[in-house]
Amino acid sequence: NFMLAQPHSVSESPGRTVSISCTGSGGSIANNYVQWYQQRPGSTPTTVIYEDTRRPSGVPDRFSGSIDSSSNSASLTISGLKTEDEADYYCQSYDNNNWVFGGGTQLTVL
């Protein structure tokens, strides 16, 4: 079975750049699109990246997604960090049309 692993938490200072990894196992991460969801405390998840690299309208270009086949991982990179970026971030992909979620990463901006 395909699985996704994320670091439990990351922290960075305002204005800096942070990358959150999502490592696949049991299959190639490049075989299916990866999505990233942001969930601020007490709020509903929202999509910040879909189809590996695409941003929904309204999501600032400080957010970017990438795939690295060599490490079988996806990454969400947030540049120019703002305190409002503090949230849980989840990666998600597919395994034969079954959804697979990573465990989530808590981003602290301090």
| Minimum CB–partner distance for residue 13 and another protein (Å) | 26
d(CA 110, CA 97): 38
The beta-strand segments (E) located in the chain are: 3-5, 9-12, 18-25, 35-39, 46-49, 63-68, 73-78, 87-95, 98-101, 105-109
Q: Which of 54, 69, 71, 82 binds another protein (CB under 8 A)?
A: 54
Site for another protein in 24-53 (CB under 8 A): 33, 35, 37, 44-47, 50-51
| Minimum CB–partner distance for residue 20 and another protein (Å) | 14
Query: How far from chain centre, in Å, is Cα 31?
Result: 17
- Residues forming the site for another protein (CB under 8 A): 33, 35, 37, 44-47, 50-51, 54, 56, 90, 92, 96-101, 103-104
